[in-house]
Amino acid sequence: MSAPAPAAYLHSSFYKFVRLPDPDHVVEVLRELVAPLTGSILVAEEGISGALAAEAEALATFEHAVQHDPRLNGAFAGMVFKHSACATRPFWKVRVHRKKEIVALGVEGVTGVADTEPRQRTDRTHVSPQQWRELIQRDDVVVIDNRNHFEYRLGRFKNAIDPKVDNFRDFPSYLQAMAPQWKAEGKRVAMYCTGGIRCEKTGAWMQNDLGLDVFQLDGGIVSYFQALPDADRDWEGECFVFDNRVAIDTRLQETGTTAEQVYNNSPDEAWRLARARRLDSAEPKSS
């Protein structure tokens, strides 16, 4: 079992799609800045995505530095950080990885970096938690869970559709199959994911290439929980998080759910369970 987190220990998740001319340089700078923390950061030409944990002061120091360090040329200025409390240490080590994509969709040429062309989606596609609550009640809206099947199984927005995918790379095929039906029915698509990054990656592609009228929950499930004290009006179950805490409730509090309770016996979920056990067993031993 994972060890308790120190008092005032926080989890911080963040991402930003931005063109990085020299991702390897960014990796070098970030490895210096994250040294006192634990967690993981992904860096690619399309931007940054990360989840870190530490005491509040250390996190604040990093979050200021990543936005203002002159070596990063303002690439991450204004980046949003989502915080939640930790009863368990979410991570044991810190790593900064260089990747081809910060979230792998598997569709060639698709990136979350905003274009300057007219075909790009507009800010109206990003709806606030308050707007989302109203949007998902409409009869002309289909609500799509842009996460894996095991995440949906643990918790979801009421009336949301489960695409039943085991990997984010399978999501485009589901959308391509369903888009003609939704358009014929005059449906608009409202989609959500944990922190917003998966929706950010797919939104413009769905709108520009599939011809769908798309809306996404700005900041994802975590922002919804943060913004609305009564989020449980619209949410059923818990929200899976990709760290040792396993799951949080609508008040951003860690639940007692275990990895064994999250996954079933399918081959895809078996390796996820094995990885979760491996990460949990990686806890440093006291001498």
Catalytic residues: 193
For tokens 């078996």, what's the residue? 270
Distance from C-alpha of 214 to C-alpha of 143, rounded to nearest angstrom: 10
Distance from C-alpha of 232 to C-alpha of 228, rounded to nearest angstrom: 9
Distance from C-alpha of 259 to C-alpha of 36, rounded to nearest angstrom: 27
135: CB partners within 8 A, 6+ apart:
127, 141, 190, 215
Distance from C-alpha of 108 to C-alpha of 280, rounded to nearest angstrom: 35
Task: List C-alpha distances in Å: 68 to 33, 42, 54, 73, 118.
Answer: 12, 19, 20, 8, 31
Q: Which two tokens stand for residue 167?
A: 């990997």
**Environment class of residue 166 by beta-carbon count within 10 Å: exposed (0-12), middle (13-18) or buried (19+)?**
middle
Beta partners for 83?
Answer: 12
Beta partners for 4?
Answer: 88
